Structure 1
Amino acid sequence: MISVDIDKQLGDFALSVTFQGDGGVTALFGPSGSGKTSVVGMIAGLIKPDRGRIVVDGETVFDSARGIHVPAHRRRIGTVFQDGRLFPHLSVARNLDYGRWMTGLPRDEAQYRHVTELLDIAPLVDRRPGALSGGERQRVALGRALLMKPRLMLLDEPLASLDAGRKNEILPYLVRLRDDTKLPMIYVSHDAGEVKLLASRVVLLDGGRVVNSGGVELLRSASS
């Protein structure tokens, strides 16, 4: 469960967003510039809101009134961006291990095997990111996020930088991730097809505001 009620002034852009997410996949859907990525940054702890409150899995990670701002590395939130953000000088194996190391978790060999098999990345572990396709890099980024044992996954347009073929390659892995891990997820996209396939709840954003929320049937009215 996640509860978000935040305000942030970003230059001339005013963001004021309130929504709740359940244990499934909650999609933040809206046009470019609507504030989706900024919301993800605030949930992850990368951007500090001006006002409000964020609660993840029963823990308040931000509360302006109480002076709470839990650092990003202590929030136990796995984040995957559209460009993967792998370290080019590290092998895939060391990239996978980075999130776990940053959060101070002991290595879990059983989980490592499960995640690499789930995402079909075991054959890639000795390679460098520069030798991977775009789809492979995103699968490694997903694996890195999972190996930190998150209580919430943030997926910020993870397919936006991929061509149609690579998107079709990755989508089944996202469905597998959703169904296998049962982790609550926030999925950011402006692609209605992705959202319909993956999400159980939709939060429609426009101009830094929530204009509607509900089931995926909202996408019909949003695109009409």
Structure 2
Amino acid sequence: MMLQARLKKKLQNFTLEASFTLPSGITALFGPSGSGKTMLVKLLGGLEQPDEGEITLTSKSLYKKTVDRKAEVNLPSHKRSIGFVFQDHRLFPHMSVLGNLKYGIQKDSSGTNTVLIEDVIELLDLTTLLHRKPKDLSGGESQRVAIGRALLSAPDILIMDEPLSSLDRVRKEDILRLIERVRDQFDQTILYITHSMDEVLHLADNLILIDQGSIKAHGPLMETLSRQDLFPLAGEMDAGTVFAGKVTSHDFDYNITTIESDAGPVFVTGVRQTKIGDNVRIRLRARDIALSTTKHSDISMLNQFNGVITEFRDHTPGVVLVTIDTGLTLFAAITLKSKQALELEVGSDVWALVKSVTVDSVER
């Protein structure tokens, strides 16, 4: 399923103007608090009305209105085939888990359940929870039930609005893996709203960046996150390069995994649960990369990538962002003093040095 939207709505502090296409897979809607993420979700779901615009799901028109005219099309929320999972779960407190799940069931024209409740219960591991009330559930359990209820409505699009914000780290990791299984098993198109770059890196196939009500960029995740002009929107502390690799070996004595990439081997820690041949996604932050004019054998940094400097750009006061071609484009944030001391210029041959413990990697 593909959703296309072009929306405009005047808000208190800015005017939200959004035009984008939501492809299959998981698309992350990322932006700071107050950027318009939640309002955009409400407009898509019919919970709020745009001043003008249109929403189309494949060939079906959900909303259409031109300025100063009455809406030509305005399907109510329950007819848009859009499911919601909110951060506060919104389970019915007087119903059991099973009752909450059954409430979401959507039947086809023959009266048959579109999505089998047994499949959802098994996927989300809900069997032991079915007769409990929401007050007896943990945060992670409640979120699993909320996801199950949304799936049983057989939505064409599933919108998840910061579903992990109230969970601890362990529960977040559990739900992240579960969301990936939902995407794969149900071939579900998901719009995932978050302000956590770690969640984006783990889940998203595509990325929409929003700020002050304006869509600043949207496209494939790795391509979009690696655009240095978007670094301020992605977060200065998280800015860097995201790229793909494949697990080639594990050193269990030292808990180090080797991942082959276009830049060469990358040594990372803490991913021993992956298997040889697994595809992974890697993020190297600009702030975690040091530069040297020579390769080192007497240094603790295991990752050393040889490349050529192609560009300098002012980053923050006293700091420059260096672009290095290593077979992959890497970015290093260094001080202006270091640039001058090393006599770096465009065309300089350098080594990008990265500590293994700073490399982020997730299985894909």
Report the TM-score, using the length of structure 1 for normalisation: 0.93
Q: Which amino acid aligns with 1:72?
A: S
Q: Which amino acid aligns with 1:187?
A: Y
Against the structure 1 CA distance between its residues 109 and 62, is the aligned structure 2 distance closer, same or farther, given a 3 Å change threshold?
closer
Q: Which amino acid aligns with 2:225?
A: L
Against the structure 1 CA distance between its residues 70 and 105, is the aligned structure 2 distance closer, same or farther, given a 3 Å change threshold?
farther
- 2:115–2:152 CA contact under 8 A, matched in 1: no
Q: Secondary structure at the match of 2:116?
A: helix
| Structure 1 residues without counterparts, runs of 5 or longer | none
1:13-32, aligned counterparts within 5 Å?
Answer: 13-32=14-33
Q: Which moved more, 1:167-176 or 1:97-106?
A: 97-106
Against the structure 1 CA distance between its residues 90 and 102, is the aligned structure 2 distance closer, same or farther, given a 3 Å change threshold?
farther
Residue 189 (structure 2) aligned to one of 179, 184, 187: 184
Q: Secondary structure at the match of 1:100?
A: coil
Cα distance in 1, alignment partners of residues 112 and 39 from structure 2 = 32
The equivalent residue for 2:47 is 46
CA-based RMSD: 2.0
Q: Secondary structure at the match of 1:84?
A: coil
**Structure with the greater relative contact order (CA < 8 A, sep ≥ 6): 1 or 2?**
1
Does residue 95 (structure 1) correspond to residue 96 (structure 2)? The answer is: no
Report the TM-score, using the length of structure 2 for normalisation: 0.58
| Structure 2 residues without counterparts, runs of 5 or longer | 240-364
Cα distance in 2, alignment partners of residues 195 and 24 from structure 1 = 13
Q: Which has the larger radius of gyration?
A: 2
What percent identity do the matched residue pairs reach? 42
Residue 165 (structure 2) aligned to one of 150, 160, 182: 160
The equivalent residue for 2:76 is 71
Moved beyond 6 Å, runs of 4+: 101-105
Any idea what the Cα deviations from partners look like across 1:56-98, whole Å, max 9, x if unmatched? 1321100013521100011111110111111111111111122
Q: Secondary structure at the match of 1:116?
A: helix
Against the structure 1 CA distance between its residues 103 and 135, is the aligned structure 2 distance closer, same or farther, given a 3 Å change threshold?
farther
Q: Secondary structure at the match of 2:6?
A: strand
1:1-224, aligned counterparts within 5 Å?
Answer: 1-65=2-66, 67-100=72-105, 106=111, 108=113, 111-217=116-222, 218-220=224-226, 221=231, 222-223=234-235, 224=239
